[in-house]
Amino acid sequence: MNLPAYSRTKSSGVEWLGDVPEHWENKRIKWSALACINGVWGEEPNEIDDIICIRVADFDREKFLVMDEPPTLRAVELAQRKNRVVRKGDLLIEKSGGGEKQLVGCVVYFDQKFEAVCSNFVARMPIASDFSPRYWCYVHAALYAGRLNYPVIKQTTGIQNIDLSAYLDIVATYPPRAEQHIIAEFLDQETGRIDRLVRRRMN
């Protein structure tokens, strides 16, 4: 897939973005998500309220996806599940964790079919219906790879915590919905091609 070049561009006014197509909007990334809902750790499994709980350890930081094994079961009552059950297409953000060589704030795309919640170190970010979740996953991946989340990270007792309010105030570019899908499809194809090449070299 080849993407056509844009004939008219403008300065985004944001250093990390540079020039962008003239018809794209620049807004804070919080407007791409319907909410940012903190997860829950629940209790030990009891065979009644058990549900899969997605931990930071389940984040694939190279593919920005959720790994599906081995699942962690936790007992989470129905009242605690409200708005926390993860849906296919949601983004999940690591709000606490990280380490000396790894920043907190990784965002992954949930493409699994199983019912789950996320742990208390993670928040669920359902994407607004008029946006492409895959495109926004790539936006967050760019922020993370460029360490643009570093200024909004606080560290206490050896654990990094991301200031979600400040993070969601970071400005990103908003192409029209159709272009978001095209860009995401292009990046999916290109990253898939790179993954296949890497696997061939490793075999």
CB 3 within 8 A of CB 151: no
Q: How confident is the model at residue 6 (pLDDT cuts 50, 70, 90)?
A: confident
pLDDT value of residue 198: 63
Per-position DSSP letters for 46-76, written without gaps between them: -SSSEEEEE-GGGEETTTTEE--SS--EEE-
pLDDT value of residue 196: 73
Q: What is the mean pLDDT of the chain?
A: 92
CB 91 within 8 A of CB 108: yes
Q: How confident is the model at residue 2 (pLDDT cuts 50, 70, 90)?
A: low
- Does residue 157 have a pLDDT over 80? no
Residue in the block written with tokens 């030990």: 44
Q: How confident is the model at residue 5 (pLDDT cuts 50, 70, 90)?
A: confident
pLDDT digits (tens, 9 = 90+) for 98-149: 777 889 999 999 999 999 999 999 999 999 999 999 999 999 999 999 999 9
Q: How confident is the model at residue 15 (pLDDT cuts 50, 70, 90)?
A: confident
pLDDT value of residue 69: 81
CB 35 within 8 A of CB 168: no
d(CA 128, CA 136): 10
CATH code reported for the domain at 13-202? 3.90.220.20
pLDDT digits (tens, 9 = 90+) for 41-52: 999 999 999 999
Question: Of the ranges 34-38, 126-130, 156-160, which one carries the lowest mean pLDDT score?
Answer: 156-160
Q: CB neighbours of 40 closer than 8 A, spacing ≥ 6?
A: 53, 76, 80, 81, 84, 117, 118, 119, 120
The structural domains of the chain, with segments of one domain joined by +, span 13-202
The dihedral through the CA atoms of 69, 149, 178, 2 has a sign that is negative
pLDDT value of residue 35: 96
Q: CB neighbours of 116 closer than 8 A, spacing ≥ 6?
A: 51, 52, 53, 54, 71, 85, 86, 110
* DSSP bridge pairs for 193: none
pTM for the predicted model, two decimal places: 0.91
Nearest to 131 by CA among 172, 188, 72, 190: 172
- Does residue 169 have a pLDDT over 90? yes
CB 105 within 8 A of CB 149: yes
